[in-house]
Structure 1
Amino acid sequence: MNLGTRKILDRSFTAVGFGSIAVMGIALLIVLVPIITNGVGSVFFTGTLEHRKMLFNEFGRGNTEELAKENASSEVYRKQIYGMLSAFEAELETMESEKKQDYLSKYGPVKTALQTLIGPLPGEPEAILTRYKYGQTRWGKAEEKLHEFLYETKWDFSNPDAMSKEYFVSRATEFEGTSLVKLFPFVEEHLEDVLRPEFTVYWGFLTDSSVDSHIFGGIWPEIQGTFFLAVGAMLFAFPLGVIAAVYFTEYAREGFFNSILRSANSTLAGVPSIVFGLFGLAFFINTLKVSESKSVLAGSLTLAIMILPTIIRAAEEAILSVPKTYKEASLSLGSTKWNTIMTVILPAALPGIITGGVISLGRAAGETAPIIFTAAVSVGSAIGLADVFSSPTPALSWNIYNLASEHEAAAEIRHVQYGMVLSLVSIVLLLNLSAILLRARISKKLKG
């Protein structure tokens, strides 16, 4: 190959390398930007008076005097709304039966939409579920609900050759000639006076427990459960992985038995995570009975088996990267093989071992399938350290899936879903960053 061709190839490979990095960076931005922008909205948002009421009633948080003043200011406009409803209900009693029934069928959705917007109406029975005790706690959602209050959604099926088209009909036109027609422009004009929106920083999203299946409250039980599961997995997997790596690199001899062990370790690294979940259910819960049902212990053991091959491989590579002269110098000075491993080889390999361990910890924190059958529950409170042997726990990875796909009000709690995703991504990134910093610090100490 001549020099010119070699230069062209070198430049081509360099360009492809930079191009690949750029594509990966763009893909990462495409994924992370919506997660960050929407996830931050779970903590920083425009909250309404209903949000402050919820915090005071459910968590005992807030200033009583300020809340009373805000309630008084809001009540001025609420009473006018309630008065319009009462006037129309009185008007209904004077109508003919057929006309009354027609208006009642239209009036029901109006009351429901209004209650969803500003909270319970006078005379309504006390709600059992917390979600019906308050109006919209976020101003962005309140504006969406205002549109639903003002307009009725309908569909046009007139064209059989095309899909139906969505269009909106003003609810006010349905009540022309009645006293209720004044309600719609009044609510539209004075909604800010009723809900009193203001910028809110809600750190309780990270420290509070959920209320009414994450309609309100925070995600602390999920964060704590993720921490328990990931750390528990490392407590089992890390020592076993390092011991196995020491055996493979320092004691194992070439042969059929060790070949089988290495093949098994490589095979485990490629097994789908859902298989580990089923294995954990069958082996740890049904056979060994480490707990009567789902528990943090069973989930941690399952995750430990899943990340064990990665830890073994990382530790093995780290040990093999230690110069042989270290071992030879130690043995020549009369040290035993075991003492050489413990005092010379493992300390020198420690940066690589810890890096592999923390990366595995990040993987354990983000896994969903292995904990579905062994540890995770959809809704639950934070558990104590003593409960890890017998109690299941919420976890970020499982609850993200559950809230996005199975929750009855999934569209109403997008901020919770994105907040969970951002929290999980942040935890994994922090773990990886800590691995880099820890490795650099240990390497610096080893170099003197």
Structure 2
Amino acid sequence: MNLGTRKILDRSFTALGIGSIVVMALALLIVITPIIYNGLGAVFFKGTIEHRKLLYNEFHRGDGAELEREIAEVAVYRDQAYRMLADFELELEGMDPEKAREYRMQYGPVKTALQTLLGPPPGDDSAILTRFRYGQTRWEKAEEKLHALLYESKWDYSDPDVMAKEYFVRRAESFEGTKLAPMFGFVEKNAEKMLLPRFTLYWGFLTDSSIDAHIFGGIWPEIQGTFFLAIGAMLFAFPLGVVAAIYFTEYAKDGVFTSMLRSANSTLAGVPSIVFGLFGLAFFINTLNVSESKSVLAGALTLAIMILPTIIRAAEEAILAVPKTYKEASLGLGSTKWNTIVTVILPAALPGIITGGVISLGRAAGETAPIIFTAAVSVGSAIGIADVLSSPTPALSWNIYNLASEHEAAAEIRHVQYGMVLALVSIVLLLNLSAVLLRARISKKLKG
């Protein structure tokens, strides 16, 4: 191959490599940007007076005197809106029964929409669920509910060749000439005065427990449960993985048995994670009875089995990367084989071993399938260390899936879902960053 052709190939491979990196960076940016933007929206948003009432009543946080002043301020406008509803209900009683029945069918959604926006009228304490005791706590959601109050959604089926098109009709037109008609314009004009939106920095999203199935509150139990499961998995998997790697590299002899063990380890690394979840349920819970049902211990053991092959492989590669002269010098000075492993080989291989361990820790934190049957619950409070042997826990990975696909109000709590995703991504990134920094620090010490 002549020099010119070699230069062209070198430049082509360089350009291809740079292009691949750029494409990967752009793809990552496309995925991460909406996660960051929407995830931060769970902490930074315009909170209404309903949010401040919730914080004060449920978490005992906020200025009570200031809240009372705001409640009195919004009551001036809210009372007028609810008075218009009461006047219309009295008007219905004097109407022709047929006409009153028609109005009542249209009035029900209006009353529900107003109560969803502002909360129940003063003196109404009949609501059992927390979600029905408060109006909209976030201004962007309040704007959506205001639109649902002012406009009725309808569908146009006139064109058989085109899918039905949605269009909106003002509800006020349906109540023209009644005492309810002025209410729509009044609420539209004074919505901000009724809800008093204010920029809010809600750090409680990371430290509070959820209320009413994540309709309100934070995600602290999920964050804590994720750490319990990931760290528990590492407590079991890391020592076993390092010991297994030492056996493979220093003690095992080439043969059928060793070959079978290596094949088994490689096979386990490729097994789908849902299989580990079923194995954990069948073996740790139903056979060994480590707990009566789901528990952090059962989930941690399952995750440990799942990440064990990765830790073994990473530790084995790190040990094999240690120069053989280190081992020969130690043995030549009269040290025993075990002492050489502990005092020479393992310290030199420690950066690689820790890197593999922390990467496995990040994987354990982000797995969903292995904990579905062994540890995770959809709704729960934060548990203590004493409860990990017998109690299940919420976890970020499982709850993200559950809230996005199974929750009855999934569309209403998108900010919670994105907030959980951002928290999980941040935890994994921090773990990987810590691996890089720890590896660099240990390497620097080893070099002196």
TM-score by length of 2: 0.99
Q: Determine if the alignment matches structure 1 residue 203 to structure 2 residue 212.
A: no
Matches within 5 A, 1:26-425: 26-122=26-122, 124=124, 126-425=126-425
Which structure 1 segments of 5+ residues have no match? none
Is the 1:55–1:62 contact (alpha carbons within 8 Å) kept by the matching residues of 2?
A: yes
Partners of 1:106 and 1:124 lie apart in 2 by 22
Q: What do the CA deviations read for 1:248-307 (whole angstroms, capped 9, x no partner)?
A: 000010000000000000000000000000000010001111001000000000000000
Give the deviation of 1:132 after TM superposition: 0.5
SS in 2 for 1:166: strand
Q: Superposition RMSD on alpha carbons, in Å?
A: 0.7
Is the 1:82–1:122 contact (alpha carbons within 8 Å) kept by the matching residues of 2?
A: no
Partners of 2:74 and 2:392 lie apart in 1 by 43
Give the deviation of 1:379 after TM superposition: 0.4
SS in 2 for 1:136: coil
Give the deviation of 1:121 after TM superposition: 2.1
Q: What do the CA deviations read for 1:108-159 (whole angstroms, capped 9, x no partner)?
A: 1100000000101246551111000000000000001100000000111122
Counterpart code for 1:195? L
Partners of 1:123 and 1:300 lie apart in 2 by 49
Partners of 2:398 and 2:13 lie apart in 1 by 41
Counterpart code for 2:83? G
- The share of aligned pairs that are identical, in percent, is 80
Which structure 2 segments of 5+ residues have no match? none
Counterpart code for 2:345? I
Counterpart code for 1:81? A
Counterpart code for 1:393? T
SS in 1 for 2:168: strand
Partners of 1:348 and 1:134 lie apart in 2 by 60
SS in 1 for 2:229: helix
SS in 2 for 1:121: coil
Name the stretch that deviates more: 332-341 or 95-104.
Answer: 95-104
Counterpart code for 1:329? A
Aligned to 1:20: 20
Give the deviation of 1:319 after TM superposition: 0.4
Q: What do the CA deviations read for 1:221-270 (whole angstroms, capped 9, x no partner)?
A: 00000000000000000000000000000001000000000000000000
Counterpart code for 1:278? L
SS in 1 for 2:253: coil
Q: What do the CA deviations read for 1:65-84 (whole angstroms, capped 9, x no partner)?
A: 00001001001111111221
Partners of 1:132 and 1:160 lie apart in 2 by 41
Q: What do the CA deviations read for 1:364-418 (whole angstroms, capped 9, x no partner)?
A: 0000000000000000000110110000000000000000000000000000000
Partners of 1:352 and 1:283 lie apart in 2 by 32
Is the 1:42–1:416 contact (alpha carbons within 8 Å) kept by the matching residues of 2?
A: yes
SS in 2 for 1:179: coil
Partners of 2:424 and 2:79 lie apart in 1 by 44
